[in-house]
Amino acid sequence: MVSYDVRLDGITKRFDDVVAVDDVSLDIEAGKFLTLLGPSGCGKTTLLRCIDGFETPTSGDVFIRGERVNDIPPFERDTSMVFQSYALFPHMTVGENISFGLEMQGFPDRDQATDGGVATNGGFGAAFKRLVSRTGSEEIDARVAEALELVELPDYQERKVSELSGGQQQRVALARALITQPTVLLLDEPLGALDLKLRKNMQVELKNLQKELDTTFVYVTHDQEEALTMSDQIAVMNDGHLEQLGSATEIYEEPETEFVADFIGETNLLRGSYTETPDGAVVECNGLSFRVPHEPDADGEVSFAVRPEKIRLGKDARGLDNVFEADVTDEIYKGNLGKFVVDLPNGQRLTVDMQITDRSKYFSTGQNVAVGWSADNAVVLTR
């Protein structure tokens, strides 16, 4: 039986007139890596903060392992958060920062809420004193060492955080969140401040770590490639609401809305009128007729999406369901991959990605070529 670590039931969060999260219901399976993906301002962070307890939903319920936690403060929830800004204490050592994660778990004055995940003012001072008096304890030392092993920074306990690189600081922030062994680890754009190469390495490491720990990860990003690389499930958000929930393949290959088709990867979106004919479904679009898969919900105006890599040019286009003459208006040569922009006779512009296995597959601006794709490679979108 599938068990869920997090259940969000009709979560709405308003800030005055802004509806940051709009009636989102979402079940997050135990031990899975779920990504909240969407453009800036779509409500991802607010939803994450509702799970953690830093925000209280205006309406709706949050459940963690079946328990309704709306009224439970952040540090009593079985969650831990990793922030893009790391929220580390620069003049404390790595070990002190990480064991502070444990201290937060036993933080007595829970009304002393946090700013960016860090206890503030007098609350922190008191907690820090207790922490220092306890860092010698064997159990804490052992758990810090274990957390540092996990993030591949062994023997870094005594280093000052200010002496670490951005990537190393990120690992420390991760270790601090993991040391409490939370049921759910929440990560808010944790790789956002890293350079591209490091980010790509960390994506793989984070995914491996998640599998190894078998802990539920809820990860926020606006980077669709990052989401596709790491996630078991992706929840695509737009303007506060949930557009689609699915695996990376489902989101990429079977988008349910124009927004998802357009936001994830690159696509060609065409609009027209859907009709069923004896030869199959077609969309009439500015004087051309395009064969598309049968879509039971389609009626009248629809759009359909075709990915650039599903389109063929030249002799590879022959015999496909949709074949047209087109003019090449732009080409970008990328070694073994060519990106071409072609115009159909009705003025519709398409982007095509082709593997260049030999020179006959390379086309130049101004050339007239056949362009084609199979009906099955289009996705009809009714929303």
Asked whether position 46 contacts ligand ATP by CB under 6 A, the answer is yes
- Binding piece for ligand ATP, criterion CB under 6 A, among 42-50, 154-162, 228-236, 339-347: 42-50
Pull the structure tokens for residue 98: 């990480």
Minimum distance of ligand ATP from residue 88's CB (angstroms): 20
Work out which of 42, 148, 185, 283 binds ligand ATP, going by CB under 6 A.
42
Stretch that binds ligand ATP, among 22-30, 41-49, 148-156, 370-378 (CB under 6 A): 41-49
* 32: helix, strand or coil: coil
Q: Which helix (H) or strand (E) holds 166?
A: helix 166-178
Nearest C-alpha neighbor of 326 from the set 294, 349, 356: 349
Closest to 105 in 3D by CA, of 66, 74, 146, 140: 74
Site pattern 192..231 for ligand ATP (x: CB under 6 A): ------------------------------x---------
- End-to-end CA separation in angstroms for the chain: 33
Provide the residue count of the chain.
Answer: 383
d(CA 274, CA 258): 15
44 in contact with ligand ATP (CB under 6 A) = yes
Q: Which C-beta is closer to ligand ATP: that of 131 or that of 236?
A: 236
In sign, the C-alpha dihedral spanning 81, 87, 91, 94 is: positive
Assess 20 for contact with ligand ATP (CB under 6 A).
yes
74 binds ligand ATP (CB under 6 A): no
Residue whose pair of structure tokens reads 């929830």 in the numeric block? 77
CB of 237 to ligand ATP, least distance (A): 7
Among 3, 25, 41, 319, binds ligand ATP (CB under 6 A): 41
Stretch that binds ligand ATP, among 43-51, 59-67, 72-80, 332-340 (CB under 6 A): 43-51
Residues contacting residue 39 through CB under 8 Å, at least 6 positions apart:
222, 238, 263
Element (H, E) at 4: strand 4-15
In the complex with ligand ATP, the residue whose CB is nearer, 209 or 260, is: 260
Question: What residue ranges bind ligand ATP (CB under 6 A)?
Answer: 15, 18, 20, 38, 40-46, 222
